[in-house]
């Protein structure tokens, strides 16, 4: 099988390339990329495989990839930058900045509770169409008017799609220029780092986007009936998990995230389009300087990566325990990354990006072949483990 691997690896980091090649050779990949920054410099930048399911085009250096919830981490960085500038406070009420949010008993909800998925707003009240969900003013107004699904602060549950609109509207409200979240990210994060990452993709780049293959709703034909029944109970269309992942069905159609109108909209929880080198570069710039650019102060990093959800508390939408800080998934069973202290966000089907200050690494993995998991993808973890071993060896 041709793996079409391109890119570069610094001396001492060859084992990441070996792991990347093994993933491609295994047949579990179609097209993918991985990148690692260490102490502010790029040490791994690899891409390989194929752009399309038919394997007629190579996955190349300029290929772009939709990364689902890996987008959430970039949104969390934008919020943290606003906090650092004194525009927001994690401890303040959301309604201080967004008065309409106080409806339906949400007036005392804090920014921290919103960012850590504790507000019970994983979907909206009533039916909603895809076109309505893609319109920023419509979806944010609907969320402001929605009643929380539980008493705020008493539990947490993954706001799979709504997190981005909620956090993004906060940024828009407090930004002096009232920029959208996508525009803020472009101006304040992507531009200064000369990276490529969009939340709201310009049409000129559409042909560079490798289509997603497969999806979370695809289960093996030979799955155990008891397991299938359990998945339907907890992740079916009428369950909290199903409602969160599809926004009451608005995003439930096959191939929805390959659509041009979905790429063009701003869905700051789920439709970021980037490549691995840019995501790793961005995360590296949260924990140190990258070509003279640093996005967050060390004190801010310590604040955002501190887990605030109760230890071992089951996620009300995903059932198993998840761990959240200020918009980031923190190190835990669901999101192991490179170990304690690491913070970032995984994306449905396999992608992930994170940083770990203790090892001074920024890491990212993107792919077009989706696994049937929301996080902790085996392919990504093999690459992460290889990068960890290299970083540790470099520190000896």
User: What CA–CA distance (Å, rounded) separates 12 from 290?
Assistant: 20
Q: Which of 2, 69, 335, 342 is catalytic?
A: 69
Strands 6-9 and 64-66, by their bridges, are: unpaired
Contact between 324 and 156 under an 8 Å Cβ cutoff? The reply is yes
Contact between 217 and 256 under an 8 Å Cβ cutoff? The reply is no
The closest of 55, 177, 167 to 112, measured between CA atoms, is 167
User: What CA–CA distance (Å, rounded) separates 147 from 351?
Assistant: 32
User: What CA–CA distance (Å, rounded) separates 370 from 68?
Assistant: 11
Contact between 240 and 316 under an 8 Å Cβ cutoff? The reply is yes
Contact between 48 and 367 under an 8 Å Cβ cutoff? The reply is no
Strands 273-274 and 329-330, by their bridges, are: unpaired
Show the tokens assigned to 163.
């997190």
Question: φ, ψ for residue 349 (rounded to 5)?
Answer: 90, -10
177 three-class SS: coil
210 is catalytic: no
259 three-class SS: coil
The Cβ-side half-sphere exposure at 24, using a 13 Å CA radius, reads: 27
| Catalytic residue list | 69
């Amino acid at each position: 099988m041709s793996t079409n691997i391109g890119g570069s690896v610094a001396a001492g980091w060859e084992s990441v390339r070996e792991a990347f090649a093994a993933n491609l050779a295994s047949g579990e990949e179609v097209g993918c990329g991985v990148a690692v920054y260490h102490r502010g410099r790029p040490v791994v930048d690899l891409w390989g495989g194929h752009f399309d399911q038919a394997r007629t085009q190579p996955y190349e250096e300029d290929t772009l990839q939709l990364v689902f919830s890996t987008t959430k981490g970039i949104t969390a960085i934008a919020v943290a930058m606003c906090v650092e500038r004194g525009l927001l406070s994690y401890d303040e009420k959301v309604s201080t900045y967004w008065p309409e949010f106080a409806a339906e008993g949400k007036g005392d909800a804090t920014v921290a509770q919103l960012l850590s998925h504790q507000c019970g707003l994983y979907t909206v009240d009533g039916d909603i169409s895809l076109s309505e969900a893609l319109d920023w003013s419509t979806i944010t107004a609907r969320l402001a008017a929605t009643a929380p699904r539980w008493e705020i602060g008493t539990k947490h549950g993954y706001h799979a799609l709504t997190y981005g609109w909620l956090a993004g509207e906060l940024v828009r409200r407090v930004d002096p220029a009232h920029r959208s979240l996508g525009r803020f990210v472009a101006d304040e994060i992507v531009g200064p780092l000369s990276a490529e990452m969009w939340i709201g993709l310009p049409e000129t780049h559409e042909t560079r986007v490798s289509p997603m293959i497969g999806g979370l709703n695809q289960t093996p034909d030979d799955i155990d009936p008891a397991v299938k029944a359990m998945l339907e109970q907890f992740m079916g269309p009428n369950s909290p998990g199903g409602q969160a992942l599809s926004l009451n069905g608005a995003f439930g159609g096959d191939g929805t995230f390959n659509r041009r109108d979905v790429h063009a909209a701003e869905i700051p929880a789920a439709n970021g389009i980037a490549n691995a080198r840019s995501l790793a570069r961005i995360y590296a710039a949260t924990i140190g300087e990258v070509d003279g650019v640093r996005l967050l102060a060390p004190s801010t990093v310590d604040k955002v990566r501190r887990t605030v959800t109760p230890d071992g508390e089951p996620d009300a939408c995903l059932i198993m325990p998840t761990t959240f800080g200020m918009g980031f998934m923190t190190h835990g069973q669901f999101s192991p990354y490179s170990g304690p202290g690491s913070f970032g966000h995984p994306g449905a089907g396999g992608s992930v990006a994170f940083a770990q200050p203790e090892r001074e690494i920024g890491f990212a993995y993107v792919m077009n072949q989706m696994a049937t998991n929301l996080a902790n993808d085996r392919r990504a973890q093999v690459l992460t483990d290889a990068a960890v071993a290299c970083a540790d060896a470099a520190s000896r």
